[in-house]
Structure 1
């Protein structure tokens, strides 16, 4: 029944604890088995776990049973432990887990056990933990001492730690440690494996005073339970969570997720307070009319300002402070209360009253099963074998499989109205499935749902394979990435020097960086990427209007009637003591500062209009630098305005190199010219002739450098005689150098392109 379904998302500024809170929810609802649990479990890409950020939205289905009545044989303490709020030594074990991950980050994988043992000793001391190493523990069997067990560590006299460096942990290691616990006085052990693939931690408990594993299994399954003749039926709620990214570059992912839910959990970090992206995602949620549940997170942090941040959020939402929830994703405190509040406050899905309607909010691809769409069913139901149709593409297919994401794909017989799940289409052709399209029945089609506006690329960059033999692989790789990232756009182009490649559109610099890194890692491609640029609208002298995405196509000085560029409205939130430095930074990036406001916690919020070109010129990194990391940023596009920009070309050996071309502000052309020729002077290898490096703009050479020629000692074999013999040889060498200077060409190494772009 849809009345027992709750669809919600977690939204916040970046690094406010969304993924950690989602981990605790999955643990608390027993969605994931303890042996499979790890940090950032919904962040499936290696890049997400490395950087500690969410890049892709991640849907997951959970089962929750609020306000379960106790049977005669259960105590309140047992019930709380079953719900996950008070498991044994929770604070200590979470602290130890954090140390394990710190060692993993610093040391990496592949070392011997003793290396990790020594590193953990250092970390335990740094964190003030009392521990014993290689302690002898007697093992009892029927009350008799049958031997000694020597764990790697005993921490705080409570938790045993067993270290491994195996390819993976198998069942025998787990059962062996459990049997040791059974025969000694300790109750909790952590089996830690720095394996060949990743860090693996298993928490093993043996405590006769706790409920039995069979009782826990029954509670997890939430069937009817009979105890002492009392029937206790527990109401089951289906919670469909869509975890969202927090970085401003992935705002399109957030907007798609929010269109598929009825409510959101708004997280605000108790150490940071309200930040720029908090206000941005909150505005989207309000515009969609979603129920908002405010939560102050990280309340266990030493520098948490819980009461201050609660007051700030209450003023922001115009609600009483008592309605602001408090939680810690690290320790799990308050998470059960959040789940209960979701059940109480977020409304169940409403019926559209039409036939089959499912909104596609994301999709993936499998080599064997084709396109797999992730959809929210707004009307009717979808079963395996149903004939369905893409409304926009007008393409029919048969549902090969339907199911839920738990978070792995779990097949089911049918997806009912209000549910979120996946549908295997079997389609292996790109361009048919699209985000925002509606699935409907072929037999009884319904009208399409309002979809999403297509994402507008913010920056563009050309991507070329190092070897033209990889062009087909690059095309196929971009098609595959497009299936999992609908905000990526690309079109084929060619360059006289670089060969054939693709002009790609991205939502920001981080989005560009992620896509390029995925192409290199997932498809083993060696790439050359040109300088990223924004779109320019050119009005030619004949009245023709054209959008330019590449500096190579930008008109020469004086040949265009009008040049326009995209502008953005920037919101910066920072402590007031950094206002002066931020104002100077905004001026340096050609911003027009607008109104300022003081937030309830004393921070300043500054609004400014800025060319998008300048926003992408390292503004975010510089903002973090001048504000000591305290400033936060969000922006939205405003439209086109007149631009005072010119094309800067780079000539190497009198030949223009298109990959180095860029569009710069007229007032910065001298600085940019000198910087690029100086960088190339350092990077380009010496040739057999004098190498000229020049920067050209506005019809003239702005800056130039020379790299001296390699010179062979042509007189080295002479050991005497007239000086004219040496002069004759030197003159001959000079004539040869002059001829090479006129005819010579330079082969620029690919790593030079990469380093110039990276440093710029």
Structure 2
């Protein structure tokens, strides 16, 4: 019954308490026993636990009874850092609603706005929630005013909770059931359509894809086709995360779960592709995702030249799990064979290096990060230059374009002058100013192109 399914995710700025609130959800719904409970339960990677940040999106299914009716709640916990925005945008395409979480002591921040824009692009139902109301410096009224300005909502629409103490968490779950629409019902005979929003490689199971079923159903032993790559596979297993994988007989319309393909060729399963049955399958694929543009490029080379093949295999496997990663082969006279890799930011690069070391035992040399330039030559040929060595002779260059960004800067009112001076020195072009709140401690959002 898809009427009793709710698919939602939590979006917020860094350290506003997404993973802690997800922990409380698991506790309140009884998904995890008290004895097995630990902080940041959905952050599965060691590096996430150590740094206290979320790097990977993580789906989980919870059962909850509201007004005597049992509901199946599929939650996707998302990262807050701008370097992992692609994880957020993929999560949003798999759900119908989003809990917009804001720290009551810090108010609306940059990624609150960035992630909200992504959610509105997908036409999701937004549930505004103030977290950390147990803190002594929590300012519920001021943060509520900022949210009302941002969303144009009523004060009564904003919920308050504390992920740490558990206060108000049940009312957030009830709001998800009441406000988030159930998945759209589709014609059962129209064939299976399932969107791949994440994947990873298992040495025994092959490629395991996380999917959102948007039409039809998928069962074990069925033959399926990946519409983008035209690869076919037999379904070895399907199931859901709770948060460990639990095998099911079938996944139906509206369900979020996993699909074990058994495929060993990593390129055959791509994030954003559509899975359908080989016999009587869907006619058209789902829209998928926009290709992500890397912001920072760096050369990555093995410390030992013999490790090049191992590095290539490792990068292939990481690409499966980290769709925002871009790479192409590169040769350096000093460092030998390696890859020119594109990342969404410096933290993304750092996490990439750390994962290569921990998961694959590889030590690499990374060159100084740079951005890509767009070069037009005198013969009107256009090229994208990602490293200084690739820049053509000065005589043959007509003009060079550098990356240009739309920047929103949130600052307390008393620092507006200094901030504007700093941006002007960096040749930023002023667009306009918005005020997020009124009264004492007023904050402004400056819009720039730079």
TM tier, smaller: over 0.9
Q: Pick from 362, 367, 372 the counterpart of residue 203 of structure 2.
A: 367
SS state at 1:463 partner: strand
Residue in 2 that maps onto 1:277: 111
Residue in 1 that maps onto 2:217: 381
Return the alpha-carbon distance in structure 2 between the equivalents of residues 376 and 3 of structure 1. Answer: 16
Return the alpha-carbon distance in structure 2 between the equivalents of residues 564 and 324 of structure 1. Answer: 44
Contact 2:2 2:183 in 1 (8 A): yes
| TM-score where L is the length of structure 1 | 0.57
After superposition, where does 1:693-708 map in structure 2 within 5 Å?
none
Return the alpha-carbon distance in structure 2 between the equivalents of residues 385 and 327 of structure 1. Answer: 44
Q: Pick from 337, 341, 354 the counterpart of residue 517 of structure 1.
A: 354
Tell whether 2:382 aligns with 1:542. no
Relative contact order, higher structure (CA 8 A, sep 6+)? 2
After superposition, where does 1:620-699 map in structure 2 within 5 Å?
none
Contact 2:150 2:436 in 1 (8 A): no
Tell whether 2:40 aligns with 1:35. no
Residue in 1 that maps onto 2:244: 408
After superposition, where does 1:223-372 map in structure 2 within 5 Å?
234-353=68-187, 354-372=190-208
Cα deviation, residue 338, structure 1: 0.6
Cα deviation, residue 483, structure 1: 1.2
After superposition, where does 1:49-68 map in structure 2 within 5 Å?
49-67=49-67
**Deviation sequence 1:395-433 (CA, Å, 0-9, x none):** 111100000000110001000111000000000111111
After superposition, where does 1:719-738 map in structure 2 within 5 Å?
none
Q: Pick from 257, 275, 284 the counterpart of residue 439 of structure 1.
A: 275
CA RMSD of aligned residues (A): 1.3
Residue in 2 that maps onto 1:463: 300
SS state at 2:268 partner: coil
SS state at 1:510 partner: helix
Cα deviation, residue 593, structure 1: 2.6
Cα deviation, residue 583, structure 1: 2.3
Aligned pairs, number: 444
Return the alpha-carbon distance in structure 2 between the equivalents of residues 594 and 309 of structure 1. Answer: 25
Cα deviation, residue 435, structure 1: 0.9
SS state at 2:266 partner: coil
Could you tell which deviates more after superposition, 399-408 or 534-543? 534-543
Return the alpha-carbon distance in structure 2 between the equivalents of residues 382 and 305 of structure 1. Answer: 48
SS state at 2:8 partner: strand
Return the alpha-carbon distance in structure 2 between the equivalents of residues 394 and 522 of structure 1. Answer: 30
Tell whether 2:448 aligns with 1:608. yes
Q: Pick from 399, 402, 415 the counterpart of residue 565 of structure 1.
A: 402
Residue in 1 that maps onto 2:24: 24
Q: Which runs of 5+ in 2 are unaligned?
A: none
Contact 2:149 2:436 in 1 (8 A): no
Tell whether 2:260 aligns with 1:420. no
Cα deviation, residue 570, structure 1: 0.6
Cα deviation, residue 288, structure 1: 1.6
SS state at 2:403 partner: strand
Residue in 1 that maps onto 2:421: 584
Cα deviation, residue 56, structure 1: 0.7
SS state at 1:14 partner: coil
SS state at 1:561 partner: strand
SS state at 2:323 partner: coil
Return the alpha-carbon distance in structure 2 between the equivalents of residues 556 and 271 of structure 1. Answer: 54
Return the alpha-carbon distance in structure 2 between the equivalents of residues 46 and 588 of structure 1. Answer: 41
Return the alpha-carbon distance in structure 2 between the equivalents of residues 352 and 556 of structure 1. Answer: 58
Q: Which runs of 5+ in 1 are unaligned?
A: 68-233, 611-760
Cα deviation, residue 555, structure 1: 2.5
Return the alpha-carbon distance in structure 1 between the equivalents of residues 220 and 205 of structure 2. Answer: 14
CA pair 585-51 structure 1, distance change in 2 beyond 3 A: farther
SS state at 1:431 partner: helix
SS state at 1:24 partner: helix
